[in-house]
Amino acid sequence: MGGVVLTFDDGPHPDGTPAVLDALTDAPAVFFLVGEQVERHPALAAEIAAAGHEIALHGYRHHNQMRVTQGALGEDLRRGVDAIGAATGRAPALYRPPYGIFTPAGLVLARKSGWLPLLWSKWGRDWRARTTPAEIARLATRDLAAGDVILLHDADWYSSAGSHRRTAAALPRILEEIERCGLYPTGSASAAGALTHST
């Protein structure tokens, strides 16, 4: 048996996050939170933490690192950490930049701050308008192996409207497939042995 890391980006979201939390039941996950959304919905961020999931940093705003200066990026990440800490009482240990794009400056900032970068090895492409729960589950679990990191989203702030509903509907199938493969979901990237996966 080996672990598969379930990760969710872009939240919290007043509809998507509760639906995803319900669908996860007892399965642990990592939530990469966006600071501006945490400030709008602090109780939801706190609910994620209280449910025992890993709280991680996705920035304060959902900006591509290549489009901001190093100084602006540093300020963005500081604001994101502050917002997450105020809402959850936790300091993130993991960091994933929006779009999975690291600049050299972004990697330096992450290392100096002590955050472990976690990208992904599987994705459900659940942000698309023309997809289905079945397709999300198929893509997320194709050739699944121990140490894989699955990218999903519990919010539609930066993607197709209502996409979080399809993600929540896909989760039972994803969890079933993880079990069928003799694996288990984990909210610990280090436990799965996968800290720097990418597409």
Contacts (Cβ under 8 Å, ≥6 apart) of 138: none
* Whether the Cβ atoms of residue 4 and residue 27 lie closer than 8 Å to each other: no
Catalytic hit among 9, 10, 154, 156: 9
Alpha-helix runs per DSSP H in the chain: 16-24, 35-40, 42-50, 70-88, 104-113, 133-141, 163-180, 189-192
Q: Is the peptide bond before 12 cis (omega within 30 degrees of 0)?
A: yes
The yes-or-no answer on residue 148 being catalytic is no
> Whole-angstrom Cα distance, residue 79 to residue 86?
11
> Whole-angstrom Cα distance, residue 162 to residue 76?
27
Catalytic hit among 153, 154, 156, 164: 153
Sign of the CA dihedral running 174, 176, 179, 184: positive
Structure-token pair, residue 99? 């779009």
Catalytic amino acids?
9, 153
